[in-house]
Amino acid sequence: MMNIFNYIERKSPVHAMTGASKLLCLLLWSFGAMSSFDPRFLLGLLLVALVLFKISKIGVKDVQFMLWFTMAFCLLNNLLIYLFSPQHGVEIYGTCHELVHLAGRYNITAEQLLYHLNVVLKYLATIPIVLLFVTTTDPSEFASSLNRIGVNYKIAYSVALALRYIPDIQREYHDITLSLQARGVEMNRKKAALISRLKTASGTLVPLILSSMDRIEVISNAMELRSFGKNKKRTWYRARPFGAWDIGAILLGLAVLLLSVALSAFVNHGRYYNPF
């Protein structure tokens, strides 16, 4: 079976932590990183994240593929921002220090560079934590951790069910495409035109959807027979009590968020650090 969520089993303190505390830390951290536009703060987050990466014994090699993907995404986003709004930095910081003049409104200003630095640092400060969460949390623990941080258990259970059925649906999709190909339907992206490819896609989707709808009936009947949803609470097989590392992670997440808010409120007087 394909490992879509890239969970890598190792023995490390980060792996041993409960999913709930890691998820909470991830959420607090990403909100903290999202709301601040202070490069010093974001750089600090990046350094802390790298230390955590070291502790977790996950190497760069393990996450290489995802890193490339994200870098490409980040580059493209920056490019788009510059193409659409080369004066965005000037608008934000209110001053204009032109470094190089290109053509028309496309010049390079110190403000624009600082804004782009912030955008890149935002990626760099969040990605390690997300990768860390994805590679060190067992998907089956993920659902119970959602319930733990306050999500209704029925919703948490549907996340667990979704994770459970993703491989099945994937396999089914694969089977359907193979059988369509055996009947001579052209799937090659170079040979078929866009419209006919869309048609083939819906041809594959119809059997997939109908069988999935049947699946909904079967699963919900099975759950109903076992009295799912009768009580207000439920227990989880994978649930574990919090340890020292878990409390540390939650405190770290809280610290990141509070620091970010405090920086915006007291030091930078706004979300942006403005050196100009």
Partner 1 sequence: MQKFSVKDIVAIAIGAALFFVLGRFVAIPSPVPNTNISTQYGVLALIGAAFGPLVAVLAGLIGHALIDFSYGWGIWWSWVIASGVAGLIMGFSKRSVKLSEEKFDKAKIVKFNVFQIIAHLVAWVVVAPVLDIAMYAEPVNKVFVQGLVAACANIVTTAIIGTILCAAYSAAKPKKDSLEKK
Q: Can you give the binding site for partner 1, defined by CB under 8 A?
A: 4-6, 30, 34-35, 37, 63, 66-67, 69-70, 73-74, 76, 80-81, 83-85, 88, 92, 119, 122-123, 126-127, 130-131, 134, 152, 154-155, 157-166, 169-170, 173, 189, 194, 197-198, 201-202, 205-206, 208-210, 212-213, 215-217, 219-220, 223-224, 228-229, 271
Quick check: 38 and 268 in contact, CB under 8 A? yes
Q: Give the residue from 196, 197, 200 showing the smallest Cα distance to 183.
A: 200
Q: Kindly state the smallest distance separating residue 74's Cβ from partner 1, in Å.
A: 8
Q: Kindly state the smallest distance separating residue 262's Cβ from partner 1, in Å.
A: 19
- Tell me whether residue 40 or residue 164 sits nearer to partner 1 (CB atom): 164
Phi/psi of residue 163, nearest 5 degrees:
-60, -35
Distance of alpha carbon 118 from alpha carbon 60, whole angstroms: 23
Token digits for 132? 């860390």
Quick check: 81 and 116 in contact, CB under 8 A? yes
Q: Kindly state the smallest distance separating residue 241's Cβ from partner 1, in Å.
A: 25
Q: Kindly state the smallest distance separating residue 123's Cβ from partner 1, in Å.
A: 7
Distance of alpha carbon 75 from alpha carbon 81, whole angstroms: 10
Alpha helices in 150-193 (DSSP H): 153-182
- Tell me whether residue 204 or residue 255 sits nearer to partner 1 (CB atom): 204
Token digits for 166? 């993703």
- Tell me whether residue 173 or residue 243 sits nearer to partner 1 (CB atom): 173
- Tell me whether residue 105 or residue 244 sits nearer to partner 1 (CB atom): 105
Token digits for 31? 């909100």
Q: Kindly state the smallest distance separating residue 179's Cβ from partner 1, in Å.
A: 16
- Tell me whether residue 95 or residue 170 sits nearer to partner 1 (CB atom): 170
Distance of alpha carbon 195 from alpha carbon 120, whole angstroms: 37
Token digits for 147? 């319930």
- Tell me whether residue 205 or residue 265 sits nearer to partner 1 (CB atom): 205
**Those residues with Cβ within 8 angstroms of residue 229's Cβ, 6 or more apart along the chain or in another chain:** 154, 223
Q: Kindly state the smallest distance separating residue 199's Cβ from partner 1, in Å.
A: 8
- Tell me whether residue 3 or residue 235 sits nearer to partner 1 (CB atom): 3
Reported as half-sphere exposure (CB side, CA atoms, 13 A), residue 29 has a value of 29
Q: Kindly state the smallest distance separating residue 100's Cβ from partner 1, in Å.
A: 20
Distance of alpha carbon 135 from alpha carbon 71, whole angstroms: 18
The H or E element containing residue 108 is strand 106-109
